[in-house]
Amino acid sequence: RPAPATRDAARPEPAKSDPGRGDRSSAVSLPSSRPEESSAISPSRGETFTVQVAAYRTRSDAEKLRDRLGARGLDADVSQADTAAGVFYRVRIGRYRTRVRPAEAGPPSRVLISEDELRARVAALGQAIARDYADANPVLVGVLKGALVFMADLIREMPIEITMDFMALSSYGSGTRSSGVVKLAADLSMPIDDRDVILVEDIIDTGRTVSYLKRNLETRHPRSVRLCALLDKIERREVEVDIHYLGFTIPNVFVVGYGLDHAGRYRNLPYLAVLDHV
């Protein structure tokens, strides 16, 4: 379908980033898709505003994302853009009458870590844990709800015997910064005395939540407690934390997707993205 007429300002196209482990402090694989900041205005008659979600080098990749967004109830289109950097295929959603609504609706605009990068790094983490615990039958403790998707993919990369359990804690509520007040909402369903325990966290922020959890578990007399984290936001650290298995170091931005949320939204995105408008 042809893309609807928009009044979005011109945007630069994405630069490619290298997959795998590393510091993602400057990694931005897609440009911001938000319209320029402005007070709410209405477009000219017959025009609408849209939100650019992504831009790809190939039409097939763009159409795959369009179909995934469509399956989630979002009205997405693919349009071709001929730029000085080459041809790109833009994926945009919505037909909004004002600039305010697209800024508040729609998915995050900037992909920080892609599906392929996540898949490769999680596989490497799973294999490393499997080597270290080949005959130990470790207990993997997932911290709900954010680590659920990460843990599900992680254990499928571990061809060893393992035991799983979960705990639920919270220090965010519906906000975008850790409150520093940790609440234990759900405890383990089994004893862990004399067991090797691996905490599986989605993101380490100030370090207060995971430090509390580690101290809590150590009172139960496990053989060892180690930490596996998908993301480390080290700029926000207030408490020293030893991360034994780490996916990515990221800058001080609020990320969603791959199990991480904002006020309960975006957990089902298959990539990790920056939520610029919160």
- Active site positions, annotated: 205
Q: Token digits for 55?
A: 């831009």
**Distance in angstroms (rounded) separating the CA atoms of residues 169 and 227:** 16
At 126 the three-state DSSP class reads helix
Close Cβ partners of 60 (under 8 Å, ≥ 6 residues apart): none
Token pair 């910064």 is found at 177
Centre a 10 Å sphere on the Cβ of residue 63 and count the other Cβ atoms it contains. Answer: 15
User: Whose CA is closest to 109, among 245, 191, 11?
Assistant: 11
CA distances from 236 to 127, 180, 241 (A): 29, 12, 12
Cα 176 from chain centroid (whole Å): 14
